[in-house]
């Protein structure tokens, strides 16, 4: 089973082993049970993205008593919902409004000994994160092509 497919399953296993119910997590996080049930089966189709997704995962991790930072790190590596990079979205928005000379760079300098939490495991060798394609980048590429015609 891949790391991505095991993510929710592992969280559920830990929750059940510790005798914690979904209702207890709902009470601790003020987030509806449908989100937690979906997380445990890796169905993030109705989940928010970015900071909200990371906050939800952090809250779940705290509620079941696992390390929230390492859980969020793993979530960010496994799912695009936790992506911390803003560059594809900002570039897409700038191109839509015709601001083509954008100087934005989403290069976050790594500190010595710090783990890159932006999904380094999925970036092909020789490419930076800004060079790797994302769903947003592909979507805005298609939108640009439509606007140019």
pLDDT-wise least confident of 6-10, 17-21, 75-79? 75-79
What confidence tens digit (pLDDT) does each residue in 14-28 have?
A: 999 999 999 999 999
Higher pLDDT pick, 5 / 103: 5
Assign 76 a pLDDT band (cuts: 50, 70, 90): confident
- Per-residue b/e over 4-42, b at no fewer than 16 CB within 10 Å? eeebbebbbeebeeeeeebeebbeebebeeebbebbbee
Query: Between 146 and 22, where is the model more confident?
Result: 22
Alpha carbons 124 and 93: distance in angstroms, whole number = 26
pLDDT tens digits, one per residue of 84-130: 655 666 667 777 777 777 665 655 555 555 555 554 444 444 444 44
Contact 77, 122 (CB under 8 A): yes
Sequence spans of domains, the chain: 3-82, 87-148
For tokens 């560059």, name the residue.
87
Does domain 3-82 sit in CATH 1.10.260.40? yes
**Predicted model pTM:** 0.57
The pLDDT value recorded for residue 139 is 60
């Amino acid at each position: 089973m891949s790391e991505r497919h095991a993510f929710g399953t592992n969280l559920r296993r830990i929750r059940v082993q510790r005798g914690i119910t979904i209702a207890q997590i709902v009470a601790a996080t003020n987030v509806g049970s449908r989100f937690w049930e979906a997380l445990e089966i890796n169905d993030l189709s109705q989940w928010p993205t970015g900071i909200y997704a990371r906050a939800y995962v952090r809250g779940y991790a705290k509620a079941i008593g696992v390390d929230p930072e390492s859980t969020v790190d793993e979530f960010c590596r496994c799912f695009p919902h936790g992506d911390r990079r803003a560059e594809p979205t900002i570039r897409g928005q700038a191109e839509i409004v015709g601001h083509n000379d954008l100087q934005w760079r989403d290069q976050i300098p790594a500190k010595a000994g710090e783990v890159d939490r932006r999904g380094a495991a999925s970036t092909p060798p020789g490419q930076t994160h800004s060079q790797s394609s994302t769903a947003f980048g592909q979507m805005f590429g298609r939108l640009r092509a439509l606007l140019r015609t």
